[in-house]
Structure 1
Amino acid sequence: MTSPQEQHLDVGAYVLGLLEPEEMAEFATHLAGCARCTAEADELSGLEPLLAEYAEAVGPAVPPAAGGRMLERLTAEVTASRRSARTRRLFLVAAAVAVLIGGPLVGASLGGADGGRPAAHSTSPAQELMDHGVRHSAADASTGAVATVALEDRKWGTHVALQLGGVRGPLNCSLVAVGRSGEQQTVTSWAVPPAGYGLPGQPDSLITHGGVGLPSAQIDHFEVRTADGARLVAVPV
């Protein structure tokens, strides 16, 4: 069984899906009760799609091993490394994260629709998008929930950030994009702790992010829903 200290180091591998099935289950149990790892998982949640976008953005200037097959190579190397040393896996995950936050991927992932390459950000991807994306806000008087979404068009769809307050837990929630055609896609999901978000005693709002395979022009609105389908707030766009 993995020690508690080792589990803290597994968050990157968990986000990338590089753990064995039994390790994934063990870490998911750990994650449910560890605020530290939950915060780190949120920071890294955009890693896999951004690695894919990096390969598309840099094109033929990057060798195939560092392009479209980067994640597959990492996965293959990590799988082989489990047979020799646990630290090898952690090294590879750290290398992938370094590419995300320090290499050309930063410019590619944060560039706007015009292909601009702004300077690397010092905040999380979710906060960066909240600061610079196209924002839409709404509140629900019956539930007390207040939400802002920030949008950024990407080649694969829309990058979406959410800031949510006025919600008390414990709850499991999801952000759902509803298209103009009625199509629905889940952007991201999370657990609300008992103290909630944006409330007395817990004034900080939730800030998270994800993506959908719809251009922003095809999205009618977003809904924050509980696991049982209750709508906490809808945000028209």
Structure 2
Amino acid sequence: MTSRVEHTDVGAYALGLLDEDDRQAFEAHLLGCAPCRAELADLAGVASALDGIGPVEDPRPPSPEPVIDLLRRTKVSDKRTRRGTFVIGLAAAITLVAGGLTIGTQLSGGGAPQVAAQGHGHDMGPAEQFYADGKPIDGKGVDGVTGGLVVESKGWGTHAALKLAGVKGPLECELVSVSKSGERRIMTGWSVPPAGYGVPGSPDPLYMHGGSATPLKDVDHFEVVTSTGKKLLTIQA
């Protein structure tokens, strides 16, 4: 775990998904990082909340294991099944933004959550910090939408931090990775409030994390799409 990406492991630490070496390194990092301690405090109760969520929907016979157990079991076994990669994507999609925690639309039965933008003059959250420290890839938008991604390869797939502006709501959106073979994976989902992000009257852009089980080397591009299928932003890998 490098110093540049330590902030992104708050969610994995809170859920007990880090291996022993990374856990110890992150605990050492916590001693000197007030933002991560604050984010970790905000995550209090998330693990217990996930313990109460039933297994994700799947056409195969249901498992009695709660989501948190599926996450841990999948990390240990590293099974290359459809359900396994889905659960890895869910773990990666647990993202921190200003004002709280966003869990992407991979959670079955839930609507897209409201998220908050992060502006200037504040302590940057993990998604904005990762974006600021990285090398953004600018996207090509439509109807005045702008934004980009900072991406990195992880052991479980691809991690990305999104910046999005010039979008008005109400909308429900998803960040999707598209592999070179055409396979599409939802990285995270959110709802855009009527005021929007990065527009007059609501100038702050949206920053948020997303994760895909597709290895970065196999990703062709990323898309921000609405629930109606409209493509707002395309970013080449």
TM-score (norm. length: structure 1)? 0.52
Q: Map Cα deviations across residues 35-74 of structure 1 (whole Å, 9 max, x no partner).
A: xxxxxxxx9996147745522544899xxxxxxxxxxxx9
Residue 124 of structure 1: aligned partner: 125
Instruction: Give the Cα separation in 1 of the matches to 2:24 and 2:197.
Output: 45
Per the alignment, residue 205 of structure 1 pairs with 205
- Report the structure number with the largest CA radius of gyration: 1
Secondary structure at the residue paired with 2:18?
Answer: helix
CA contact (8 A) 1:167 1:196 kept: yes
| C-alpha contact (below 8 Å) 1:133/1:152 kept by paired residues | no
* Letter in structure 1 aligned against 2:160: V
Q: Which has the higher helix share?
A: 1
Aligned residues: 144
Q: What does 1:83-232 align with in structure 2 at a 5 Å threshold?
A: 123-140=124-141, 142-232=142-232
Query: Is the CA contact 1:178–1:222 (under 8 Å) kept in the aligned structure 2?
Result: yes
Q: How does 1:28-43 map to 2 (within 5 A)?
A: none
Structure possessing the higher relative contact order (Cα contacts under 8 Å, 6 or more residues apart)? 2
| Residues 15 and 47 in structure 2, CA contact (< 8 A), matched pair in contact too | no
Offset, 1:129: 1.6
CA RMSD of aligned residues (A): 3.7
Asked whether the 8 Å contact 1:158–1:214 carries over to 2, the reply is: yes
Give the share of equivalent positions with the same residue, in percent. 38
Q: In 2, Cα distance between the equivalents of 1:52 and 1:229? A: 35
SS class of match (1:47): helix
Matched, 1:47 2:11: yes
CA contact under 8 A between 1:129 and 1:152: conserved in structure 2?
no
Letter in 1 for 2:190: W
Deviation at 1:173, TM superposition (A): 0.4
* Structure 2 unmatched runs, 5+: 1-6, 26-45, 53-122
Contact 1:165–1:197, Cα closer than 8 Å, also in 2:
yes
TM-score relative to the length of structure 2: 0.52
The superposition leaves residues 101-134 of structure 1 with CA deviations (integer Å, 9 ceiling, x where unpaired) of xxxxxxxxxxxxxxxxxxxxx6322012202234
Give how far 1:152 is off. 1.7
Give unmatched runs, 5+ long, in structure 1.
Answer: 1-42, 62-73, 81-121
